[in-house]
Structure 1
């Protein structure tokens, strides 16, 4: 397997690209604080080279997540457009309205459903499908807490629409489960899962439409770089779209990609990718210029 090229910083390759499709959680913030060097690298690319489109597996519409970025002190000049899994998932939900839908997830994700006309269901018995944004309490629960509740839905053949394909994210110094982990459980029970976020095509179609709006012309896909820390979401998504990728190999991966000297070891980064049959052209421990 070809090893990813270890980057000293984004500036090393910035001139090769017009568009960055950049992941959010795990690259520019950890849910508790933003990382100034990453934000500055994106702002500098915006200023001197091209356009940054943030592409997130947040289950909420992008318009609702901007306030979170502002609250984490992510500068507005570090991005020019923003698309989320929530944006892409709303199209799937709209096709299934009025449902009824058995909705699972925290109250903060309610904006996903606004204006869609979905009728609520109380459980598998009166639902046409399930919609999952995440765990009700991701600070204490695990996907296993949902096995008993989801089994009847899987046995009934109900589709599960997962609005956040991420399995885990790092919040501060804690690893928490996301909607994708619940979707994995549902599939293990024999249920069918539909996703529109990374690594699936619908969210990339939205992101490329934003890129072409910013460019004012069709995008040259050889000059589009994806950046992300999720192997099964960001990296595989880039691979499926035949786009170059910069793999951020720290965060949820801990020290697995570090060598004895504390620096990125391309062979260890490649092992993380190889486990999911993924490939990245570049790798770095974190995003900086």
Structure 2
């Protein structure tokens, strides 16, 4: 297995692409602070004339995600549009108009329902469940939800997973996401629809936004995805038929030898387990 090049800079790759689909958490910020080099790199990509669409598994509408980016001082000049798994989740909720829903997740994700004709019901009677995360992701684990999942399984309750990520960085700590609960439910035999990466609907929406920003359709071979997860970002890019740049300093940092200097053999192991290889690798996104 030949490892792709470990690049110090994005600049040599940039001329090959007319659009960039960048992950947010782990690439542009860690939930606490923004990464200036990454923001600068995306601004330079846009300055070259390429479209930049941020693609995130955040279970919130894109405008809410944009406001969070503002609070972390990610410049609006770094991107043309945001597409979230929350956007995809909302489209599925609209399709289920007239059915009752139970929200499994923290109150901070309630914006996923804003402006929609939604009728809530207890878990014991709801027609379906929207899972956006753990109520207390600093203390709970997916196993804390097993009893509720067993009830859902008994009722054959359909689940929409509003955030397919299993874990995400918050500062220097990894916390569980909705994907961890959804995966547990799926292994128990439950029916789950994953709204975000690595599944096709979120990429179709992101590519449409990229075409809108560019003023023309962008060929798949001229699109580069950037992310820090082999499970969601690498797999999703390959499913969408586009190139992928892997950032090593995100959620896989410890697996690949640390944040400062990724280990070649460890990288090969991670990619072998994923069954695919990125176009290139960078420690952090930088121009």
TM range (shorter): over 0.9
CA displacement at 1:49 relative to structure 2: 4.1
> Runs of 4 or more off by more than 2 Å in structure 1?
254-259, 261-268
The SS at the match of 1:11 is coil
Whether the 8 Å CA contact 2:249–2:260 is kept in 1: the answer is: no
**Aligned residue for 1:36?**
36
TM-score norm. by structure 1 comes to 0.95
What's the Cα RMSD here?
A: 1.5
Aligned 1:120-135 pairs, distance under 5 A: 120-123=120-123, 125-135=124-134
- 1:275 corresponds to which of 248, 252, 273: 273
**Aligned residue for 1:146?**
145
Which whole-Å CA distance do the structure 1 matches of 2:107 and 2:221 have between them? 40
TM-score norm. by structure 2 comes to 0.96
Aligned 1:236-247 pairs, distance under 5 A: 236-247=235-246
Whether the 8 Å CA contact 1:6–1:266 is kept in 2: the answer is: no
Could you report, residue by residue, the CA deviation over 1:11-37 in whole angstroms, capped at 9, with x for unpaired residues? 121111110000000001000000101
Could you report, residue by residue, the CA deviation over 1:210-234 in whole angstroms, capped at 9, with x for unpaired residues? 1111111111111100000111111
The SS at the match of 2:193 is strand
Aligned 1:127-206 pairs, distance under 5 A: 127-206=126-205
Which whole-Å CA distance do the structure 1 matches of 2:89 and 2:247 have between them? 25
Q: Give unmatched runs, 5+ long, in structure 1.
A: none
Q: How many residue pairs end up in the alignment?
A: 287
Whether the 8 Å CA contact 1:239–1:279 is kept in 2: the answer is: no
**Aligned residue for 1:56?**
56
Which whole-Å CA distance do the structure 1 matches of 2:152 and 2:111 have between them? 24
The SS at the match of 2:284 is coil
The SS at the match of 2:21 is strand
Which whole-Å CA distance do the structure 2 matches of 1:74 and 1:64 have between them? 14
